[in-house]
Amino acid sequence: MCGIVGYVGKRNAVPVLIEGLKRLEYRGYDSAGLAIIENNNLIVLKRKGKIIALQRELQKISLKTNIGIAHTRWATHGEPSDKNAHPHIDNSGKIAVVHNGIIENYRALRKFLESKGHEFSTETDTEVIAHLISEMLKETDDFEDATRLALLELEGTYGLGIINLEEPDRIYAARHGSPLLIGAGEGENIIASDATAVVRYTNRVIYLEEGEYAVIKANDFYIRNLQREFIEPKVEKISFSLQELEKGGYQHFMLKEIYEQPQTLKNAFLGRLVVEDGISRLNGLKPYHDLLANSERISITACGTSWHSALIGEYLIEELVRIPVEVEYASEFRYRSPILNEKTPVFVISQSGETADTLAALHEAKRHGAKVFGIVNCVGSTIARETDSGVYIHAGPEIGVASTKAFTSQVMVLSLISLMLGRMKGLPAEIGRKLTIELKQIPDKVQSILDHETKTGQIKEIAEIFKNHQNVLYLGRGFNFPVALEGALKLKEISYIHAEGYPAAEMKHGPIALIDNNMPVLFIATDDPLYKKIISNIEEVRTRGGRVIAVATEGNESIKELAEHVIYIPNTEHMFIPMLSVIPLQLLAYQIAVLRGCNIDQPRNLAKSVTVE
């Protein structure tokens, strides 16, 4: 949520800031603004709405400067408005601040500052930071130390970019709980909340750690902690290219990412599957083989789409490894006194690696002595750095807010982990070889689904029929139950149609009351051990007039007698079917949203990286 960009260097900062903000649009926002220092003036310009509204204002004036900070805001305190948009300034008009996160003690700080004569002009928590730094300047004439003293008073989370009119050659950056990095260039440096905003200018980045701040000039920078100790920067390279951030001829990033899945699935297992031995090798987990081999249960925690992949991981591990797995919502994990110890491996799953609730769950697990392993996409992310070890999914940048390729890559990695653990726990090599062969075929089978849709447009035709319905029910059993949840989530995320996913048998325990001839019901009815059961559920829906859409396995002609529409997918091992059965559901959600005129890549009220609780 929210996005920060700051620039100091040899270029005109304004175009750099605007482009950076555009790269961060996918994170979700409701206003945008910037602050620059030009000709010994601090100029702040901000507007409610999309970045284009800010650009229109910039077209009315000519600004040229080599330093500035900018922000896209996702409202938490104070409604979206020009006034509440970032940056925020102090009463002197010399200090400007952009902020990601939430200051939990801002009310107490505001009351204190008002008692000192400060006057506030917004409803935000962020404004107190600018005023607090100004107040600390009464105790010291060193702006860096005043900023440090202010940071010591803040409770909550923050990623900060700060400029000071009295120091027009530098940007201050600070991080606690909200990601922030420095892009190190030649004669220029950039700060950003996401590497996508800096990749055009440099592939060298330094991620600030918890409780660190940086002072950044055009030609150098340094990092300190809040005790003023200098920190040696750890330079990392961005793992993706600028081209990966473009749409590549697709109408939307989401569609591009759906069609990238054959390749991203290959990336997830590349160099990790050994067919002749029937095993998977995950180097990040190798030092912990003894712990994993001797574990009697596993805990997995995640949010949203990642939680759905975690549910599939539960089914996979319990089938192949035969030990119990608990899947927890990360947002609830630390509030229910989880029973963990040093013998319980905990896996945390997050596409961004910055999800606040998942980070909190990670910290809670560590507090109980558990070893924590990350399954993340973004290299260098906070979860990747703070877990004991883990596995990257290698899906590449995912710009669309509604996750698609990250989901299937997470399921692929969970399949690899399950296979690895299964072989460690005694799964026969013959079964391992059979599973590795099938996993290697998954990308080609996904490609065949996408090719069929490109050729026939079948799913688009179904979308045209059902685009105006206001409720849809998704039903699956076994490994396809989490897919039903994911399909429903995709539809409501981007089309704003109310959709719910259920285990098919649970339909009789309430949802069946909703079924009539206005209720589309999507069944995932693939060739697996529960196929006969789900056919019975389809019959129950038909009896009550429900309109049935079925995702079925190729060659199943009989299901056409029961369903109004049938979308076929290739067959595979039943435990791997989610990587295939989810593809039509992603496409259906996308096509319905397009037909309804929705903002596909930036759905209302949603953010790609949820960095607040």
Q: Which residues are catalytic?
A: 2, 608
Measured from the Cβ of residue 409, the count of other Cβ atoms closer than 10 Å reads 30
Torsion, Cα of 462, 464, 469, 472 (10° steps): 30
Three-state secondary structure call for residue 89: strand
Q: How far apart are CA 242 and CA 503, in angstroms?
A: 41
Structural tokens at position 550? 């079925």
Structural tokens at position 381? 């992310």
User: Exposed, middle or buried by CB within 10 Å (0-12, 13-18, 19+), for 153?
Assistant: middle
- The secondary element (H helix, E strand) that includes residue 522 is strand 520-525
Q: How far apart are CA 361 and CA 282, in angstroms?
A: 23
**Going by DSSP bridges, is the β-strand pair 298-302/230-231 parallel, antiparallel, or unpaired?**
unpaired
**Going by DSSP bridges, is the β-strand pair 235-237/204-207 parallel, antiparallel, or unpaired?**
antiparallel
Structural tokens at position 489? 């989530």
Q: How far apart are CA 182 and CA 234, in angstroms?
A: 11
Strand positions, DSSP E, 1-136: 3-9, 31-38, 41-48, 67-73, 88-89, 95-100
Structural tokens at position 453? 């849709």
- What's the half-sphere exposure (Cβ side, CA atoms, 13 Å) at 507? 29
Q: How far apart are CA 559 and CA 613, in angstroms?
A: 44
Phi and psi (nearest 5°) for 318? -65, -30
CB distance 526 to 554 below 8 Å = no
Phi and psi (nearest 5°) for 200? -65, -30
Q: How far apart are CA 469 and CA 173, in angstroms?
A: 48
CA end-to-end span of the chain, whole Å?
Answer: 11
- Residue 213's DSSP bridge partners are 174, 224
Q: How far apart are CA 369 and CA 37, in angstroms?
A: 48
Q: How far apart are CA 432 and CA 395, in angstroms?
A: 25
Three-state secondary structure call for residue 261: helix
Q: How far apart are CA 51 and CA 73, in angstroms?
A: 11
Q: Helix H segments across 29-75? A: 51-59
Q: Which of 417, 364, 369, 427 is nearest to 391 (CA)?
A: 417
Distant-in-sequence, close-in-space partners of 50: CB < 8 Å, separation ≥ 6: 25, 32
- DSSP annotation of 466 reads H
Distant-in-sequence, close-in-space partners of 46: CB < 8 Å, separation ≥ 6: 31, 32, 33, 34, 54, 82, 85, 86, 87
User: Exposed, middle or buried by CB within 10 Å (0-12, 13-18, 19+), for 156?
Assistant: middle
